[in-house]
């Protein structure tokens, strides 16, 4: 594993075993989390075995069904009772047969001379014995098969003793078979006997391995620990091709794209990062940066990594940082605030956050960085209102942010009152207006707003990919 570079947390492993086993694991640095290191070793090596439990069983040997632990134990106890009954009935049949045989032996001992005479003189002694002493077929066969050396007084005493013991056992078996209470009592005794036999104090029951509670480290932390942390730059093209360039790349002008394609999103990340994809269907998708294609070539379509519907488009792609909040909005101008951690998806199908129905679609997402919201529509009308008027939710349609007579939402942004509202154009020039200068656009949520300030980009967006191909640091 070390030679294959699958354990970046481990510098070396030494075997210092003598009479006892001693395996020394040397971490790469003193700052390595010991618990996380051991969990990565357990995951990749045979130091630990995890056993999945899927109780898809044949109930009573006939009906396949997935059962819970309580039902599984109940069915097992019922099975043990059935086994007890079958075993008891089989033993009872053996005892009945043996008692018949012993009865024949006792008749033979009481009439030993006659029995010997018949056996010596008759060509077919069996029917004569049966007729003379009123024996059954089984008793006659048992007498004829008896060895001569067993013809002793002591043998007769032993047979009488065995007969007495078997009759007592037969009585107890009949009582057990006829009483369900006695059956469950016997099952409990058998389970206790097994528990005693296999208790930790016995040589047979002492465990060679140990059970332990599941570690607190989650799967994502382990996966992150197994990947070497390196800086990368994630680039997404207009046509949805994604790739990860090594290092921090600020100038994308030398990056090749397919014909009629160009950069749409570019942001710095690390190989251990997770990237969030927000799509027009209102779903969030999660990508592992370590699994993104490298910078050689044009990358790969983002749809290869997520199950994005054919009619849906990518609204935004960015690095997950955790702890932030987003303002989401649809084309019809409805939206709400959602915590970033609620946007993480565990499957390729993503996680539905903003509920939209056609012809509506998710249109914009903004990081919450202030107490004010600026919303601009396709009609170039802009309104500024307090973020307090927008609810925080984990899923839903949201509330009306801006009213439109024609068209819908184009973009939105949050900002602090003391910093004012700023935007950039295609030439990477930044413009800003103070709150005093924005007085004409101040209003409330669901207002129509006024035409955008002079100099606002014709694209009706607050941020644009610079024309010279330089990447922006994400918010």
Q: Is 432 in a helix, a strand, or coil?
A: strand
Residues of the chain with pLDDT under 70: 2, 4-6, 148-154, 211-227, 464-475
* CA-angle at 394, arms to 389 and 396, nearest 5°: 75
The CA distance from 40 to 27, in Å, is 12
Report the b/e string of 156-186 with b at 16+ CB within 10 A: beebeeebeebeeebeebeebeeeeeebeeb
Residue 379 neighbours by CB under 8 Å, 6+ apart: 404, 405, 406, 407
The CA distance from 224 to 304, in Å, is 22
Domain map (residue ranges) of the chain: 59-178, 228-451
Look at residue 467 in the predicted model and tell me its pLDDT.
Answer: 45
Look at residue 472 in the predicted model and tell me its pLDDT.
Answer: 47
The CA distance from 448 to 376, in Å, is 9
Evaluate whether 59-178 and 228-451 have a shared fold: no
Contact (Cβ atoms closer than 8 angstroms) between residue 250 and residue 470: yes
What strand order describes the sheet that includes 283-288? Answer: 314-319, 274-279, 283-288, 351-352
pLDDT digits (tens, 9 = 90+) for 309-325: 989 999 999 999 989 99
pLDDT digits (tens, 9 = 90+) for 122-181: 889 999 999 999 999 999 998 888 876 666 655 778 888 999 999 999 999 999 999 999
Look at residue 328 in the predicted model and tell me its pLDDT.
Answer: 96
Residue 220 neighbours by CB under 8 Å, 6+ apart: 274
Question: Distance of CA 163 to CAs 134, 153, 158, 312, Å?
Answer: 20, 16, 8, 87
Look at residue 222 in the predicted model and tell me its pLDDT.
Answer: 60
Assign domain 228-451 one CATH number from 2.120.10.90, 3.90.470.20, 2.30.33.40, 3.30.1490.20.
Answer: 2.120.10.90
Tell me the CATH class for 59-178: mainly alpha
């Amino acid at each position: 594993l070390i030679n294959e570079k699958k354990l970046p947390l481990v510098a070396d492993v030494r075997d210092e075993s003598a009479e006892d086993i001693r395996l020394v694991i040397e971490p790469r640095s003193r700052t390595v989390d010991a618990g996380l290191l051991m969990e990565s070793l357990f995951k990749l090596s045979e130091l630990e075995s995890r056993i999945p439990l899927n109780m898809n069983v044949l109930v009573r040997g006939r009906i396949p069904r997935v059962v819970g632990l309580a039902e599984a134990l109940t069915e097992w106890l019922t099975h043990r009772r059935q086994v007890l009954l079958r075993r008891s009935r089989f033993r009872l049949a053996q005892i009945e047969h043996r008692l018949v045989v012993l009865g024949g032996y006792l008749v033979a001992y009481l009439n030993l001379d006659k029995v010997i005479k018949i056996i010596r003189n008759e060509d077919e002694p069996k029917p004569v014995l049966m007729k003379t002493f009123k024996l059954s077929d089984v008793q006659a066969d048992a007498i004829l098969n008896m060895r001569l050396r067993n013809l002793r007084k002591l043998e007769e005493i032993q047979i009488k003793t065995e007969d007495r013991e078997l009759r007592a056992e037969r009585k107890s078996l009949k009582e057990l078979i006829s009483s369900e209470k006695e059956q469950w009592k016997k099952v409990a005794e058998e389970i206790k006997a097994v528990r005693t036999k296999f208790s930790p104090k016995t040589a047979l029951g002492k465990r060679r391995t140990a059970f332990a509670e599941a570690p607190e480290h989650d799967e994502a932390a382990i996966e992150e620990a197994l990947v070497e942390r390196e800086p990368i730059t994630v680039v997404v093209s207009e046509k949805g091709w994604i790739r990860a360039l090594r290092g921090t790349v600020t100038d994308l002008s030398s990056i090749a794209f397919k014909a009629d394609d160009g950069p749409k999103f570019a942001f710095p990340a690390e190989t251990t990062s997770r990237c969030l994809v927000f799509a027009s269907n209102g779903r969030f998708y999660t990508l592992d940066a370590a699994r993104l294609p490298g910078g050689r070539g044009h990358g790969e379509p983002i749809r290869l990594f997520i199950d994005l519907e054919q009619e849906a488009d990518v609204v935004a792609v960015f690095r997950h940082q955790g702890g932030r909040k987003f303002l989401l909005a649809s084309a019809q101008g409805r939206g709400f605030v959602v915590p970033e951690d609620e946007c993480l998806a565990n499957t390729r199908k993503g996680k539905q956050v903003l509920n939209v129905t056609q012809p509506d679609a998710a249109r914009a997402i903004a990081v919450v960085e202030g107490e004010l919201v600026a919303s601009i529509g396709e009609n170039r009308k802009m309104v500024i209102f307090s973020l307090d008027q927008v609810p925080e939710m984990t899923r839903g349609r949201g509330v009306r942010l801006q009213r439109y007579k024609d068209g819908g939402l184009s973009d939105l942004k949050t900002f602090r009152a003391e910093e004012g509202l700023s935007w950039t154009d295609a030439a990477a020039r930044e413009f800003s207006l103070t709150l005093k200068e924005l007085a004409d656009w101040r209003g409330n949520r669901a207002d129509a707003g006024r035409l955008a300030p002079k100099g606002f980009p014709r694209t009706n967006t607050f941020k644009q990919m610079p024309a010279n191909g330089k990447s922006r640091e994400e918010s």
